[in-house]
Amino acid sequence: MGQRLSKIYTRTGDQGETGLADGRRVSKDHPRIEAMGEVDSLNSQLGLLLAELDLQLPACPGLAELRQVLAPCQHRLFDLGGELAMPAYQAVQDAHTAQLEQAIDRWNAELGPLENFILPGGSRLIAQAHVCRCSARSAERRCQQLNSLEPLRPTLLAYLNRLSDLLFVAARLIARRQQVSEVLWQEASQPQ
């Protein structure tokens, strides 16, 4: 691909604007930049989840499948960010969303029905999967906000929506494969 960054700082953003790949300059709080930032944040959180998975693999080889499914998601999120930066660029496809759905269906079959509300926790790895899920929802909201101003391809929005679903199911599967009890929500008792 060649050299991408010849210089890390350019000073062109010091006044609160940044450049898009198509040459436009926009405010750093423009909805497109907000959406790009949330997708980047999600990608970083997912990177942390993958690093935590790697640390746990020797003790729990059953987590390898999660890593195989989640690692490509980092690349698709980078593609998605590229689409936000370069609206004419199209990399994320419906087939990528279908792959997430297949993993969700496969994992849900192993887990069985959810009978209680669960809370993020039980292990560091489970909690990080939930952090990623929340970050995916935030990225989806920012993209929906942008979509109301500048329409995005429905494929991007569907991918983020399904990714958050996948991360929820991944958190549950991690608990199962680590043999850690999920933290079940307990309704507040009524004061007497």
Question: pLDDT tens-digit profile of 48-104?
Answer: 999 999 999 999 999 999 999 999 999 999 999 999 998 788 999 999 999 999 999
Output the CA–CA distances (angstroms, integers) from residue 115 to 111, 182, 184, in the order listed.
Answer: 11, 12, 10
Residues 6+ apart with CB under 8 A from 175: 122, 123, 126, 181, 182
Q: Residues in the chain, how many?
A: 192
**Average pLDDT of every residue of the chain:** 90
Output the CA–CA distances (angstroms, integers) from residue 176 to 63, 128, 168, 171, in the order listed.
Answer: 10, 15, 13, 9
Enumerate domains of the chain plus CATH numbers. Answer: 25-181 (1.20.1200.10)
Question: pLDDT tens-digit profile of 139-154?
Answer: 999 999 999 999 999 9
pLDDT confidence tier of residue 9, bands split at 50, 70 and 90: low
Q: Which residue has the tokens 């997430």?
A: 100
pTM value is 0.89
